Chains A and B, each alone.
Chain A
C-alpha cells in the first residue's frame, strides 16, 4: 500500500470563548489519512469542525493538540519560515472566490503569483505556463488581462483552481468550493475538478455540507459531528450502508432531485448542542434515537463494519442496535 500523503492524528482545536475562560471545542481528537491521488470528502453540519480541520492541516490555524504528518514529515510545530516552501505542495481553494482574489490584480498575475513565489521560472516560461493553466481550467486567454470584477463567480472559482494547481501540489484542500455557485455552474466546476484530479493525481480533501456533491467527487467520505469523526467509509458504502445513527439520519435528510425517489425519513429532534459544553460520552447521545445509558458515559472508538475501510464510532454496533430506520418502521 502506498504511503499516505497526509496523516492527521488526534487533532484537537479549542478556541477561547469570551473572557469566562470557557473554550469552544471545535475539533476533538480527529484522525484522518489521505493517500496520493485520493479524494477524501468531509461532511458535517455547521459547527462540526470541518473547516477548522482543513485550515489546521495547512497550518492556517494552529492545532491545540495532535500531530499532522505531511509527505512523511511532521509539520505540526515547524516554524513559519520552514512551512513556507512546503506550501508549494499543499494548496487551498476557498468557498468565496470574490474575497479570495485581490481585486487590483489582473487575472494573469493572480494565476502567476504562486509560481513567482515557489518556482524558479523565467518570465516567459511563467507567461507560457499561465496561458497553459488558463486553458486547463477552461478560461479564455483574453480573461488574463482583466480584473476579478469582470468575471462571474464560476469563472473566478476557475481562477482559484488554476492558482491552486499552478505549483503541482501533492494535496489540495477545497473548503466548500461550490457552495456559493449556482447549480449549473457548480456542475461545471465539479467536472473540472474531476478532470484536474485525473491529470495531476493530486490528493484532495473536499469539504462540503452538500451530500450529493461529496458523493459525486469523493473516493472515501468522513462524517463529522461536533468536532469528532463518527464514520469513515468508501463513498458508495456510506450511501448504501451507513452504520452510525447520525450518518443514517443525515443521509435520510438529504433530498435527491427526483420526485420519485422514496425518502426513508428519520428527522432528528432538536439541534446540534453547543460546542462550549460538549455532551459527555458519545457527543451524539443527546439526539440519538437509539442511545442507551452507557452512551452518556462512554465515548465510543472506531468499530470496523463490513469492509476494512468502513469504520463507525458507535457503541450500539456491537449489539446491532445502531439502525434507526428499522426501529422507526417496526
Chain B
C-alpha cells in the first residue's frame, strides 16, 4: 500500500454571478496518483493548472468557495476527505507537513523562532518542554542553521529569506512527518541559496524516510530532485511517470511543449507556437482540454482521452499517446 493514494479528486469553485446564476470553475478534474514512502514526486504545470490546489485539497486547507466535490485522499489508509476536522488538525503539522513559498509571511512575526518550533512540537507531540527545546535545536542543526542555540532566540525579521526557509523546514520536521509537501519552496530565493535548500530537502527525505511532493514550474528542479513527475494541465494530470522517461520520451503534446520551451532546447527564431491561453475553467472544452491549442488535435479529441500506459509506470492522457510523430511540439 502506498503512503498516499489520491483517487479521482475533483475540486470546484462555486459562486454566483451578478444574475444570481451559479457559476462553477472546474479547477481539479479527476486527479489520481500514488506516492510511496521515500519517494519525491514533482508536480509541474503552468499557472492555474491546479498544482497548489491539489496540495491544498489533500491537506483539507480549502476555503469556500472551493470545495472537494468528488474523490478520495487515502493517507496511510485513512480517507482524509471524510475525516472530521479535529482529527485532520492532529494530522496536519504532524504527519503531513507543508513548506510554502513565502517563508517570511508564514512565520509569526511576534514569536522568537525557537518558541515557534517548540510550540508546534507541544501542540502535536506534547511531553516535557525541555524535550521540545532539545528537538528544536536538533532540527535547526539538521537544516543547517549555524549556531542554533543563539539563533533560537532570533526574531523572524532578523532572518534572510534562505534562513527563514530553513526555519520553516525545521518546523515542518518537528513532529517527524511521513509526508512533506513543498509548494514552490525556492521561488524567490537566489540560485545559490536555492541549491542549498533543494539539496537539504532531498537529503532529509532520504534520512527520515519521508515522501515528498515538490510543486514547481521549474523543469530543472524536477529533473534533478524528483523521482517521479506529474505534469498538470487544466486541473488534470496529463502525463506521469519516472523522471528520466518523461524527459526522454514525453508522450503528451503538452509535456512536449513544456520541455521544448526550456532554455536548453529552445531554438531561437524558430517561431514555434508553444504557449497559448490557459483554458477557461468556467467553460472547459469537452473531451481533451488541450485540444483548442494542440497542433495534433483531430475530431476524436472531443472525446475524453484515455490514460494510456506508454511504458512501465508511464501514463499519458492523450488519444495519440505513444503514436505522436517524432518531431513537433
Contacts and interface: CB of A to CB of B under 8 A. Distances in A.
Interface of A: 45-46, 152, 154, 182-188, 190-191, 194-195, 198, 209-213, 215-217, 249-250, 252-261, 263, 265, 267-268, 271-272
A295 B16 CA distance: 65
B262 A267 contact: no
Nearest to B219: A257
Nearest to B217: A183
B247 A258 contact: yes
A307 to B, nearest CB: 23
B235 interface: no
Contacts of A260: 244, 247
Nearest to B221: A255
A259 B274 contact: no
B325 to A, nearest CB: 19
Contacts of B247: 257-260
Interface residues of B, number: 44
Nearest to B220: A255
A253 B264 CA distance: 15
Report which residue of A185, A210, A255 has the largest number of chain B beta carbons within 10 angstroms of its beta carbon.
Answer: A255
A45 B191 contact: yes
Contacts of B217: 182-183
A154 B273 CA distance: 13
Given A45-B192, A258-B247, A259-B223, A152 B277 contact: yes
A225 to B, nearest CB: 10
Given A190-B266, A211-B191, A258-B264, 11 more contacts: A45-B192, A184-B261, A254-B191, A257-B219, A257-B220, A258-B247, A259-B243, A263-B224, A265-B195, A267-B199, A271-B193
A252 to B, nearest CB: 8
Contacts of A258: 223, 247, 264
B128 interface: no
B46 interface: yes
A185 B48 CA distance: 14
Contact of A259 (B47, B244, B257): B244
Given A184-B274, A198-B269, A45 B190 contact: yes
B261 A268 contact: no
B180 to A, nearest CB: 20
Nearest to A155: B277
Closest 9 CB pairs of A and B: A212-B263, A255-B220, A257-B219, A187-B261, A184-B275, A45-B190, A257-B262, A253-B195, A184-B274
Contacts, number: 122
Given A187-B266, A187-B274, A257-B219, A209 B243 contact: no
B218 interface: yes
Given A212-B263, A254-B191, A271-B193, A194 B221 contact: no
A17 B47 CA distance: 37
B264 A183 contact: no
B53 interface: no
Interface in B28-62: 46-47
Contacts of B46: 182-184
Contacts of B249: none
B127 interface: no
A195 B269 contact: yes
B150 to A, nearest CB: 16
Given A254-B220, A257-B220, A186 B261 contact: yes
B162 interface: yes
Contacts of B275: 154, 182, 184-185, 187-188
Nearest to A187: B261
A261 B274 CA distance: 24
A46 B190 contact: yes
Most buried by B among A187, A258, A271: A187
Given A45-B191, A211-B191, A255 B274 contact: no
7 contacts: A183-B261, A184-B257, A187-B274, A253-B191, A253-B195, A254-B191, A268-B195
B85 interface: no
B268 A209 contact: no
Contacts of A265: 195, 199
Interface in B224-250: 224, 243-244, 247
Nearest to A254: B191
Given A187-B274, A259-B223, A271 B263 contact: no
